[in-house]
Amino acid sequence: MEKKVPTNTITRDIKDLAAPTGNIYETVVILSKRANQIALAEKKELAKKLEDFRGERDTMDEVFENKEQIEISKYYERQPKPDLVAISEFEDGDLYYRVAQEDGAA
């Protein structure tokens, strides 16, 4: 079952986001790295699907007339943004992260 992720930005309490890590900056780094992972995976998936439409002699008219290609692109445009997915995963406790330990060397 796929969970519902909002497609619009919503206001969140910064204290709630910082609570799991104890530091809002660490939370932002975690969310940023996860959003980048999601965006990269979506980009690869979209490129793979659109690869079928590439031809050696595509003209501009042929590109604009391909309705299936347009539908695929519209589908990805309607998807929630990667940062919203990352925040949702973080809030639901579905995001695994670990904090690197500092070396004792000075």
pLDDT in tens, 71-101: 888 888 888 999 999 999 999 999 888 877 7
Residue 105 lies in a domain: no
What would the mean pLDDT of 41-70 be, rounded to a whole number?
Answer: 74
Residue 26 lies in a domain: yes
Residue 29 lies in a domain: yes
Number of domain units in the chain = 1
Q: What is the pLDDT of residue 65?
A: 59
Taking 70 as the threshold, does the pLDDT of residue 38 lie above it? yes
Look up tokens 């992972």; give the residue.
37
85: exposed, middle or buried (C-beta count within 10 Å: 0-12, 13-18, 19+)? Answer: buried
Q: What is the pLDDT of residue 87?
A: 92
Overall pTM > 0.95: no
Contact 34, 89 (CB under 8 A): yes
CA distance linking residue 83 with residue 49, whole number of Å: 23
